[in-house]
Structure 1
Amino acid sequence: MDALWDKLGAGPGRAAEDIQRLKADDLPLVLYGDGWYAPYLREYLGRRGLTAAAVFTDAGFTTSGQAVSFAEVNGRFEKFNIVIAFANAPLAREKLARLDRARVGGVYFFDVMGELLGNTFDRAWFETNKARFGAAYDLLADSLSRETFLAFLDAKLGGNAEALADISRKEQYFPKGIIQLSDSEVFVDGGAYTGDTLLTFMRLTGGKCARACAFEPETANAAKLAATVAARGLRGVTVHNKGLWSAPATLPFAVWHGTSASAVSGAGEVSVEADTVDRLAPDATFIKLDVEGAELEALKGAAATIKRNRPKLAVCVYHRPGDLFELPLFIKSLVPEYRFYLRQHQPVACETVLYAVI
């Protein structure tokens, strides 16, 4: 195990090296892709003094309205570098391999999600916390979980940015073989947004459950969620325009701006109300948490419920540097019998979910 951690901690800083190479080449930088990932990549590159000279997509697909065809890019520049601007880099490379790349200097990819979500750490921090990372790793119940753990860390440390794509899986929050649903669930959806996870839960259960509590602190999202629940006639669903925390509180809250997600923050421009699972859903049998870095506080506010009910847990572990070890170790301290699984649900370092089941 020590050799494994040493190898990970001493791996190449590939991302930093690639940035230096792009600057040294002094070639026009062209983005391939213009979907949800592109704005994050543009900001990441901009922070490093790099801007795109053009963007091309497949069959003219564009969200910014700036994309052109590869043929147009190829005719515009004598030589250029490509930076992949959608999350699934292996798929992008497959598509690029079919093109005439005689004028392409190089093809690059960066996993930018950690930095733009405020979750970054360096090798010194990793070394300081290596024992706790190791303790969390040892809790994982299967080989895919352990592979995911290592690939996530490697991506965070600027190593192989594309390894997560190979282990990414669908079925977020409800992976087959891990989460088994009954028709008597009391479902807590922490960070419910406008209802995507809640609707999936209802579809998978056929609408049969004891009840569901959806927590969404952002007022506009909570209103849309409540409207969806009413329009679809979902029974037994309560929408709380609140966040989840370790105790009832009024918290500063930063609203979504550009590539920054809404979250509890000392720099927040508004205030939101928060409460606990222990107070509002003490009978919970399944708790999902995607609360933008407040997962540990939300778990503390659900501690009595977790100890008593031992509910299924699906907890995001990608928002803060210590989440990957702090959250499983805290849950383990509450219920030692839990089995832990880690799954990656995007090809980049976000939507990484820890599952705890009995």
Structure 2
Amino acid sequence: MNIAPALFSKYYKNIFKKKWLKKGKDGFYFDFKGAKLPDISDDGNLLPILQHGVFEGTFLFPCLLNDDYNKSVVEFMDQHMGEGPYGYTDGSFDITVKQNDIVIDAGAWIGDFSAYAVSKGAIAYAFEPVEGTFQLLHQAMELNDRRIYPVQKGLADRECEINISVDGCSSGNSIFFERENSTKEKIAITTLDKFVKENNIEKVDFIKADIEGAERDMLRGATNVLKTFAPKLAICTYHLPDDPEVLEKIISEANPDYKVVHLRHKLFAAVVKQ
């Protein structure tokens, strides 16, 4: 039994807005234990995405499980969730966002993981190339004390412009997969290595990536970051059949000191200090 969809359909579908939607001086916004997102409650396409997959992957653990990313908890829940969380701890192997971390959010959508990172005391560089989604991400920046830095670019292994298959503000826009009723939008692409160098970013502590099959290209464009800063990694591995093997190989070649742990749909990696 997949307990997460059952939980949401029977419970959160009815009370989601009542539970998480708050009223501020400038209007309504969602507040997930300090992680704030723009009010999309009237959007029949975006709200279900937030209620289900996004809440499950980003906010279920902090809101309902006290941010407990212990190996035993995560591995149990991973068997009953669509994609699983973006955190994992096993002793000194600790893939969680910490105070003062610099976080790279690749595939930021409207800023859910970036907002979570800010709620933990981090700063997030949020990469979201699609125009409509980027506008909502910019609203998330304002809601989160401007500690989210929106970047309207995608991440890959080269600088270029490409056409992306866009399905409104869906969280699943892709350069690889055509979707029914989708449109094309030209977007700018850069590499993480180049972005970090050009913006004089002194460290990178955490990389989260869910970019619809482009994770391997993003990692190839971040080899210097992986080698120099050894950030914690939480990377989706379910878009392409060979993602687990290919992504681990890229990581290990960039920095052989990485330890990699695979769950059903994500890998977690870190250089464990002795």
TM-score (norm 2): 0.62
Decide whether the 8 Å contact of 2:244 with 2:262 is kept in 1. Answer: no
| Equivalent residue for 1:303, pick from 223, 245, 248 | 223
Matched with 2:146 is 234
Residue identity opposite 1:215 in structure 2: F
- The CA deviation string for residues 157-176 of structure 1, in whole angstroms up to 9 with x for no partner, is xxxxxx99646599721234
Asked if residue 331 in structure 1 is aligned to residue 244 in structure 2, the reply is: no
Matched with 1:253 is 164
Q: How many residues align?
A: 201
- The CA deviation string for residues 179-212 of structure 1, in whole angstroms up to 9 with x for no partner, is 1443331110000000111111122x2x3x3x32
Decide whether the 8 Å contact of 2:77 with 2:84 is kept in 1. Answer: no
Q: Map of 1:132-151 to 2, 5 A cutoff?
A: none
Partners of 2:149 and 2:135 lie apart in 1 by 12
Residue identity opposite 2:150 in structure 1: V
Matched with 1:128 is none
Decide whether the 8 Å contact of 2:106 with 2:128 is kept in 1. Answer: yes
3-state SS in 2 of match to 1:330: helix
Asked if residue 202 in structure 1 is aligned to residue 118 in structure 2, the reply is: yes
3-state SS in 2 of match to 1:281: helix
Decide whether the 8 Å contact of 1:253 with 1:263 is kept in 2. Answer: yes
- The CA deviation string for residues 208-242 of structure 1, in whole angstroms up to 9 with x for no partner, is x3x3210001111111011121133233x310111
Residue identity opposite 2:165 in structure 1: A
Decide whether the 8 Å contact of 1:252 with 1:266 is kept in 2. Answer: no
Partners of 1:335 and 1:195 lie apart in 2 by 29
Matched with 1:47 is none
Partners of 2:255 and 2:221 lie apart in 1 by 15
Q: State the 4+ residue runs in structure 1 displaced beyond 4 angstroms.
A: 167-171, 257-260
3-state SS in 2 of match to 1:272: strand
Deviation at 1:298, TM superposition (A): 0.4
3-state SS in 2 of match to 1:306: helix
Decide whether the 8 Å contact of 2:176 with 2:213 is kept in 1. Answer: no
TM-score (norm 1): 0.49
Q: Against the structure 1 CA distance between its residues 250 and 266, is the aligned structure 2 distance closer, same or farther, given a 3 Å change threshold?
A: farther
Q: Which structure has more strand as a fraction of its residues? A: 2
Which of the pair has more CA radius of gyration? 1
Residue identity opposite 2:249 in structure 1: L
| Equivalent residue for 2:137, pick from 225, 228, 246 | 225
Matched with 1:292 is 212
Q: Percent identity?
A: 25
Q: Against the structure 1 CA distance between its residues 341 and 169, is the aligned structure 2 distance closer, same or farther, given a 3 Å change threshold?
A: farther
Structure 1, unmatched stretches of 5+, are 1-34, 37-56, 63-142, 149-162, 345-351
Q: Map of 1:1-358 to 2, 5 A cutoff?
A: 166=79, 168=81, 172-177=85-90, 178-203=94-119, 205=120, 207=121, 209=122, 211-235=123-147, 237-256=148-167, 261-265=172-176, 269-282=184-197, 283-344=203-264, 352-358=265-271
RMSD of aligned alpha carbons? 3.8
